[in-house]
Every structure is written in C-alpha cells, then in structure tokens.
Amino acid sequence: MIAAATRETIGIMSEVKRIGWSEARFLAAAAARTSIVIALGKDAVEGLYGVGTWRMVHADSASGHARAWIEAYRRRFGLTPDENAAVAYSYTDWFVKGIREAGRNLTAETFIRAMGNVAQDDFSTYRRVGFRNNHIDPEVVRIEQVRGGRWVGASPDIVAGE
C-alpha cells in the first residue's frame, strides 16, 4: 500500500521499476489516483493500482452530460478539464444544491438538514450519493489500475457496509 501523494508515488514506482521488482503489486491511496501521476510518472506507474473515489472522465470517450460539461469548460477556460476540475464542479454543484435547499435563513443546522435532502448523481460519482450522519452515503470506491496510460476499472463498486 502506498500512502503518498503524487511525487512520492512516482518516486516509489520509479524505484520499483528500476530494481525490477515485477512480482509485487502496489495500491496507491486515493490522493495518488490522479491523471497527474500518470502524466508525470509515465511508464514508471504503468500497472499501479489506485483507490478511486470518483469516476475518471476522459474527454475522448465522454458522453451525455459529461461531454457537454467538458465542452463548456473548454469554451470557457481554453483547456481540457481533468478529474480535479470535474470533482470540484461536482462537489460545488452539490454544495449549492444544499444551500438552495436550506433557504434564506441559512445556518449550520439548516444546511446540515438540507444536505440530507439532496443527492448527487452526476458524471463524476460512481452512483447516487447523499449526505447522512456527516458522511457521504453510500461510501463507494473502486480499485483501478494504470493500463495504457489511463486509470481503468479493476474491481466493481466497493460499498462500505455491504
């Protein structure tokens, strides 16, 4: 298990490849399961497993709402968004839904209650999620692997408590 972010994960995997430790399998924490690790690590991270907490959306294979969002992002900012932009959009959208649900007399308590009434189900979530007991519910992850320079699914949804 690699409990590190971008630079350290790439360094570990580079050393693993350098010494030829091919029989070992490495699983990176969610912080390292990013397209940035692939862009910087290149061949060194090929085969790395990672814990995915959101769906990776690729511009060349996106459809529906994801494709529309990617195109709108490109028009507005002049570049192709990565998963960091998608997740920031998704969580901000969910937050705004909660604010609207809470109404004009917003307090911490009304916001918490309101978040219990709104869900998020978009192109970045693995499935419909809500907010219960101060946590995202259900808590869903997938194990993914770098194959051909992309994070691809290596497991079905793994849901806490199931």
Record the pTM.
Answer: 0.87
Whole-number Cα distances in Å, 5 to 28, 111, 112: 8, 32, 31
Domain residue limits at 147: 1-54+137-162
In this structure, the answer to whether residues 62 and 50 fall within a common structural domain is no
In a domain, 104, yes or no: yes
Indicate the pairing of strand 135-137 with strand 140-147. Answer: unpaired
Per-residue confidence (pLDDT) for residue 162, from 0 to 100: 82
Condensed to tens digits (0 to 9), the pLDDT of residues 106-122 reads 999 999 999 999 999 99
Task: State how far the alpha carbon of 77 is from the alpha carbons of 32, 34, 63, 92, 115, in Å.
Answer: 25, 21, 20, 17, 30
pLDDT (tens digit, 9 = 90+) per residue, 26-58? 999 999 999 999 999 999 999 999 999 999 988
In a domain, 132, yes or no: no
Mean pLDDT for all residues in the chain? 94
